[in-house]
Each structure stands twice: as structure tokens, then as C-alpha cells.
Amino acid sequence: MISFENISYKYPFSGKFAVKNINFKVKPGEVYLITGESGCGKSTLAKIANGLIPHYLNGTLTGKVSNLGIYNSAVSLTDISNRAGTLFQDPEQQFFCTDVYSEMAFAHEVKQKSVKDIQDTVAAYADKFELTDILDSSVFTLSEGEKQKVALASVLSLEPKCLILDEPTANLSPEATEMLARQIEQLKKDGFAVMIVDHRLYWLEGIADKVLIMKDGEIKHAVSHEDITKNNFNEKYGLRLTRLDFARKYDKNTAKEGLKVTGLNFAYGKKPAIFENFGMIFPKGKISSLSGANGAGKTTLSRLITGLLKPKSGTFELNGKIYKPKELLKKSGLVLQNMDHQLYAEKVIEEVDGKIELLKKMRLESFATRHPHSLSGGQKQRLVIAAAVAKDPEIIILDEPTSGLDGRNMKIIGQILKEEADRGKIIVVITHDLEFINLYCDFQLRI
């Protein structure tokens, strides 16, 4: 059981509560989904549940939280982690090793399990998460979706009776998300207490026992999954859709103006080729989504187009003129999956070259003088997108730009990208977000 009793918490040097008056219990065999707009306190609850607050992060915490009946305040962080497994919002933050097999084996080695038990466990969970083919790979060469699957597999392989998952589907393909849903369903049957923080709601239909809707650090409603739509909470609290009823389709566009990639060949070192004589067109004045399985090469393609990786061969043509990838970088705005790698300024306003109107569009104007790294995950995501748009590039490539966004902010991003497309920009969105694709993308491409 995961239990919150009258929990309130303030971060250090903060004048207001991040969360306040929180009370709920996730019993064995239950799944609780916690959702709400970016910055409402969801991830803070995850850090309180797994003991990072107050054992690692200071601040002012009142009330009691327990896992399996043992109060977190009475035991060490190590003891808590033996009972409560956590998937962080950024899986890189919980990696200890440099290759996939060692990462999945690490915690079992610490527990001094036999070599055979470790090998069998790693093999079983690698098979469950379709990771067998990359067990020898460096974690630094994985896609964000693959990193998320490695982190999930590592946590679940320890079989903790309490699970705390922070945005577990953020970078997963629809197929991987469906697989995770089935695993959560089985864990529920096996008596696990599961607490999930997520903006995406549809994948837990029929699985979540209760949905806690948060706003300004408080739980406003504790409802069933189906009651969200019945009570119009999607609009009221800026939530995502609870059901996706549209079919996916993929286009082979034949646009003449735009970004044209032809004859692309690339492989990482001596590994099998990711692209062989690959070609694709991203039309001018349109939003194109780029989909594919985790590890298919979507992020790699964005890095090849912008010169961050060197292809073996290939041609990149922009509006009828051939460019070298490094030349295209000067004409491009690239938004990477890991926002922290793109935030360098001392203040939020400096990241967008002083364009306060752009911050207003992104609902970030009140944070103008804050340090960018002090923002929530969703706020950082909006900021790096704003920074790319501020440069007024001809090409905007965004890698999973909506992974940490609630419904209201997803719509803001979608509208801004539509405005940029209407100005003749080439917009490429690498995404698994079916809701965003359906609402805002003109073309759906797949690799």
C-alpha cells in the first residue's frame, strides 16, 4: 500500500506549497493515475512517495507517507527503494551502467543474487520489453524510448510491491504503450500497488481504479476514468483525451517544395545500417509527423539532417537547392528530447532572445526571470520549443515535443506550430503522440 496522510510540502527557498493537504491510499491490487496541468505537483508527489523528499531533497514536509505500512520517515532511502520501485521522468537519471545488460543486472548484483539467477532475470525481462537485440548496446546510443524501456524493465525485474511511475509512456511508441498497459494490468492482478503520474489518459482505460486530478498543488477530484469526460474535466483542467477513437494512417506525400532527403545511408560504427538508400519529403508550409518503433531511427534522422551526425552518403535538398547538413543546421531549429541539454541561459527570458510575447503565448511570462532549470518538465518543454521558434528558422524539427505536456499546453504548442507552418516553415514533429498527430499534423510519415 502507498499511503499519503495530510501531506504538504514546500521546496527550499519557495514561498508557497508545491503540494498541500494530500490524502489518499493506493491499496494492493489498485492502480491510481495522477494527472493535471504541468507544474501542478504531480512529480512532487512521486518524489514524496519514493522518499527522495525529504531524504534527498530538502524543504518543509508535513504529514506522513508510507509504503507497505512502513513510514518513509522511519527508514532509509535504501529501505524504501526495496519496497517501492520508481521510474523517473528522465530515465537517464537512474542509470548506473554504460551498457544495457549491466544496467538491468546491476541491482540484482547489489543484492548478491547468483550469476544464473541474474542471467535468467535479465533474459526474461529483456524478452518482455523487446530489448534482447540491444543488450550489448551502450545506453548512450539508445533512443529515448529505448532508454525508457530499459529503465522500466530494470525496475519491474526487482518486483517491488509498490510501483511509482512518472510519465512512463512519454517516449514510448503506441505498440510499446499497449504492451506496458497489459503489464500494468497483470501487476494489478498480482496485488501490486501502482501509482502512475501521466498526462496521457487513454492507455489506462479499464485499468486505473481512480484518477486524481490536481491543480495548484491540491487534489481537486478523485474520480473514475470514465467520469473525466462525463464531467467535462478535460476542458476544465486542461487534460488529455480519455479515449482515442481515430484510426492511424500514413502518407506518402509528393510535395515539390520543402525538405527532400534522397539516397541516405548511415550506420553507427560497425552496427547494422539504420538507413539504406532512404528517401523522404517534408513539405513546406505543412506539419509532418514522423513515427516509427522505438529505435527505428527517427531521432537519428533529425541529427543527420542538421549535421549533428555524418551520413555515409545522401543528398539534402531545401526548396530545390542542395545543402550540406551543417549548412541546414543554420536554417533549422532543433528541439531535442532531453530539454536540459538545450537550456543554457541564466534566465528564461534570455532563452527566447528577450521575446516576452512568445513567453506569453507559451504561458511562461510569469517565469521570465527564473532560472530555466528551476522549471517543471512541461514548462521546460514549452521553453525549448519557444527558443527554437524565436530564432525564426526555415525548418523546425521537434523530437517528442509533447511528451510531458498536458492537454491545454499541447493545444498551445499545436497552434503555434500551425502559425509557423502558415508562414511557410517546414515543420517536422517526431512523435508517438496520436492525439497530437490527429489534431495538428497535415502528413503522417513512418520509418
Residue 246: inside a domain:
no
Q: Are residues 278 and 214 in the same domain?
A: no
Q: Is the pLDDT of residue 248 over 60?
A: no
pLDDT attached to residue 253: 59
Distances (CA, A) of 284 to 43, 68, 288, 416, 433: 38, 56, 10, 16, 22
Q: Are residues 272 and 177 in the same domain?
A: no
Please give the angle made by the CA atoms of 410, 380 and 42, to the nearest 5 degrees: 75
Residue 73: inside a domain:
yes
Please tell me the distance from the alpha carbon of residue 378 to that of residue 315, in angstroms, as a whole number.
35
pLDDT attached to residue 376: 80
Residue 243: inside a domain:
no
Which residues fall within 8 angstroms of residue 190, CB to CB, at 6 or more apart? none
Which of 248, 257, 201, 305 lies closest to 431 in space, CA to CA? 248
Please tell me the distance from the alpha carbon of residue 350 to that of residue 372, in angstroms, as a whole number.
9
pLDDT attached to residue 375: 87
Q: Are 438 and 244 a contacting pair, CB within 8 Å?
A: yes
Q: Are residues 140 and 277 in the same domain?
A: no
Residue 252: inside a domain:
no
Please tell me the distance from the alpha carbon of residue 212 to that of residue 197, in angstroms, as a whole number.
10
Q: Are residues 215 and 350 in the same domain?
A: no
Q: Is the pLDDT of residue 285 over 70?
A: yes
Q: Are 101 and 179 a contacting pair, CB within 8 Å?
A: no
Would you place residue 51 in the very low, low, confident or very high pLDDT band (cuts 50, 70, 90)?
Answer: very high
Q: Are residues 268 and 200 in the same domain?
A: no
Residue 268: inside a domain:
yes
Distances (CA, A) of 128 to 119, 123, 155, 345, 380: 14, 9, 13, 42, 32
Q: Are residues 185 and 307 in the same domain?
A: no
Residue 362: inside a domain:
yes
pLDDT attached to residue 254: 64
Q: Are residues 270 and 160 in the same domain?
A: no
Q: Are residues 289 and 215 in the same domain?
A: no
Would you place residue 88 in the very low, low, confident or very high pLDDT band (cuts 50, 70, 90)?
Answer: confident
Instruction: Say if residue 16 is exposed, middle or buried (CB neighbours under 10 Å; 0-12, 13-18, 19+).
Output: exposed
pLDDT single digits (tens) 257-275: 899 999 999 998 888 899 9
Cα torsion 370, 401, 327, 313: sign:
positive
Please tell me the distance from the alpha carbon of residue 162 to that of residue 187, in angstroms, as a whole number.
10
DSSP state of 362: T
Helix (H, G, I), strand (E, B) or coil at 432: coil
Higher-pLDDT residue of 294, 24: 24
Distances (CA, A) of 48 to 56, 75, 79, 258: 10, 14, 14, 48
Residue where a domain stops, chosen among 237, 270, 289: 237
Q: Are residues 76 and 178 in the same domain?
A: yes
Mean of the pLDDT values across residues 399-407? 87
Q: Are residues 178 and 274 in the same domain?
A: no
Mean of the pLDDT values across residues 71-81? 91
Q: For residue 27, what is the domain's CATH number?
A: 3.40.50.300
Residue where a domain stops, chosen among 205, 237, 269: 237
Distances (CA, A) of 161 to 53, 83, 263: 20, 6, 51
Q: Supply the mean pLDDT for the chain.
A: 91
pLDDT attached to residue 249: 56
User: Percent of the chain at pLDDT above 70?
Assistant: 98
Q: Are residues 275 and 358 in the same domain?
A: yes
Residue 134: inside a domain:
yes
pLDDT attached to residue 119: 96
DSSP state of 247: P
DSSP state of 99: B
Residue where a domain stops, chosen among 203, 237, 271: 237
Other Cβ atoms less than 10 A from the Cβ of 324: the count is: 9
pLDDT single digits (tens) 411-445: 999 999 999 999 999 999 999 898 999 899 998 88
Side-chain-side CA neighbours of residue 89 (13 Å)? 22
Residue 251: inside a domain:
no
- The letter for the amino acid at 94 is Q
Q: Are 164 and 151 a contacting pair, CB within 8 Å?
A: no
Q: Is the pLDDT of residue 339 over 90?
A: no
pLDDT single digits (tens) 191-241: 999 999 999 999 999 999 999 999 999 999 999 999 998 999 999 999 999
Q: How many domains, the chain? A: 2
Q: Are residues 364 and 272 in the same domain?
A: yes
pLDDT single digits (tens) 289-336: 998 887 789 989 999 998 889 999 999 999 889 998 888 888 999 998
Give the pTM. Answer: 0.83
Query: 330 is in which domain, residue-wise?
Result: 258-446
